[in-house]
A = this chain, B = another copy of it.
Amino acid sequence: MFGAHKRLSEKQERILRFLHQFLEEHSYPPSIRDIQQGCDVSSTSVVDYNLRILEREGHIRRSPEISRGIELLGRQRETQPAFQTVGVPVLGYIAAGEPIPSYAAESWASDPMETLELPASWLDGRGEVYALKVKGQSMIDALIDDGDTVVVQRASEARDGETVVAWLKAEQEATLKRFYHEGGRVRLQPANSQMAPIYADPRNVEVQGKVLGVIRLLR
């Protein structure tokens, strides 16, 4: 297997722990002599020796000839931007028969009821993203339960097959469905394949956003 971690000696583990601690405190990596002092090692060459092993075992990466050129690998990253979370505002509830809260884009200050932390990697370069809590079991045909959270990217159009937050004007009803253009009308297909689709007039359907995901956190 590739990248498997062999057993580390006590000194090596101590150095690894010191690296984590130092990086939390200083925001720049330690020098070899910093490690030497911090871990009660007799010589810099010992540190160098153990660092080579840590690198070979895939725990760190070193940049030769560069002072403090040590990076922690794997594990929870530190300042790695791609592995941080982004706060997504939870704007309100979604339920059949109630209007969908609007998203005042520019004013980040329009205070959401709460904020949902999501890994930045899930959102990539997507634009305005917000979240809605599902109230009641009206979305059960989309396999979404009471209390679930849906993550939505604001959009007013959708391509065939995308799951959207749709507002049916006449029925005064919000719903989550797969979206298809079909000739002059629109087909809204429940996620649950055992349910029948809804056909609607395009003028009666207002797309509010695309559904990026559904999250159900239990207790």
Contacts and interface: CB of A to CB of B under 8 A. Distances in A.
Contacts of A80: 27
B78 A27 contact: yes
Interface string A22-36: 011011110100000
A163 B84 contact: no
B68 A68 contact: yes
A213 B212 contact: no
A147 to B, nearest CB: 11
Given A27-B79, A68-B67, A213-B216, A85 B145 contact: no
Contacts of A83: 84-85, 117
A117 B119 contact: yes
A113 interface: no
Contact of A79 (B79, B162, B192, B216): B79
Nearest to A178: B218
Nearest to A219: B162
A69 interface: yes
A101 to B, nearest CB: 17
Nearest to A212: B218
Contact of A24 (B71, B79, B119, B194): B79
Interface centre among A5, A117, A120 (most CB of B within 10 A): A117
Scoring A23, A26, A119 by chain B CB atoms within 10 A of each residue's CB, the highest score goes to: A119
Contacts of A213: 215-218
Nearest to A214: B216
A194 B4 CA distance: 47
Given A28-B70, A85-B85, 15 more contacts: A27-B72, A31-B67, A75-B87, A76-B84, A76-B87, A78-B79, A117-B119, A119-B119, A122-B217, A143-B143, A162-B218, A162-B219, A163-B218, A214-B216, A215-B216
